Amino acid sequence: MSDKTIKIRVTRFRPEEEDEPTEQVYDVPYQDDWVVLDALNYIKDQVDGTLSYRWSCRMGVCGSCGMMINGDPKLTCATFLKDYYPKEIVIQPLANFPIIRDLVVDVDDFMVKLKAVKPWIIREEEKPIEEGEYLQSPQELKDYKQFSQCINCLLCYSACPVYGLEDVFIGPAALALAHRYNMDSRDEGYAQRTVIAASSEGIWECTFIGECSVVCPKHVDPAAAIQRTKVETTNNWYKSFLMPWGDK
C-alpha cells in the first residue's frame, strides 16, 4: 500500500449523542485507483466501525451511495480520490434530506412522491396472456429509453434549488419517470399521472435551472423530461378547447 495519505472530512451525526451534526477528519491511504467509497470502507473496516453510510453494488447501478463530495452531489463509487488529491475531501450527506445518522438520509418523502406518479405500465384492460406480449418497435423503445435509465440515486434532488426551498415539489426523478411511462407505447396511464405531474406541485414548480441534469450520473436529463411534459400538457390543454371531441 502507498505511503501517501489523503484527509477525509466526514459529517457525523449520532442522534443519541448529539443535537447537531459535527465533523470528523480521517487520514486514509491514497491509491490512484481508489474511489471515495473505498476510502469510506477503509475507515469503516480499519479505523472507525461506527461510521454509517449506504452502499451496495459499487458499480454505479444501485444508486444508494450518493453523497455530497466537496459540495457536489455524486456517487461515491464513481468519484476517484485522484481527482482531489492532495487536497482534503469533504463528504456530507445528500443535501435537502433529513439526516438519520452520519451520511444516511431519510428518503421517505421521495418514495411517497415516486409512488404518486405511478411509475409502472398501466393498462385499461389487460389482454389474455395467451395473446402474447405487448410488442414495441425500436423507435418506440427509443422514445423513452433515455428516461428509463434513472437509478433513484437522488443526486438530482440534492442539486435542485426548488426542492430545497419547496419540499412539496414532486421533484426531478419522479417527474422524469412519469414522462418515461407516458412515452411508453404499451401504457395507457397518461391521464392518471397528469393529475399529479401537472399539478401546482409538479412540473410548474420547476424553474428550469437544469442542475438536476448536470449531476445525473446516467444522463437521464430530468430537466428535459419536465420541459417536454410542460409542452405536451399545454398542447393537450389547448386541444381540449379547440377539439373537445378528441381523445385528450
Model-level pTM? Answer: 0.92
- Condensed to tens digits (0 to 9), the pLDDT of residues 185-209 reads 999 999 999 999 999 999 999 999 9
pLDDT attached to residue 234: 87
- Condensed to tens digits (0 to 9), the pLDDT of residues 31-62 reads 999 999 999 999 999 999 999 999 999 999 99
Domain 5-105 fold is: Ubiquitin-like (UB roll) (3.10.20)
Mean model confidence pLDDT for the chain: 94
User: How many Cβ atoms are within 10 Å of 73's Cβ, its own excluded?
Assistant: 26
C-alpha cell at 14: 449520532
Please tell me the distance from the alpha carbon of residue 173 to that of residue 121, in angstroms, as a whole number. 17
- Condensed to tens digits (0 to 9), the pLDDT of residues 68-119 reads 999 999 999 999 999 999 999 999 999 999 999 999 999 999 999 999 999 9
C-alpha cell at 48: 472507525
Task: Pick one of 1.10.490.10, 3.30.1490.20, 1.10.10.10, 1.10.1060.10 as the CATH number of 108-242.
Answer: 1.10.1060.10
pLDDT attached to residue 247: 54
Burial class (CB in 10 A: 0-12, 13-18, 19+), 112: exposed
C-alpha cell at 185: 407505447
pLDDT attached to residue 220: 97
Please tell me the distance from the alpha carbon of residue 93 to that of residue 91, in angstroms, as a whole number. 7
- For the chain, the domains span 5-105, 108-242
In the structure, what pLDDT confidence band is assigned to residue 248 with cuts at 50, 70 and 90? Answer: very low
Please tell me the distance from the alpha carbon of residue 242 to that of residue 192, in angstroms, as a whole number. 22
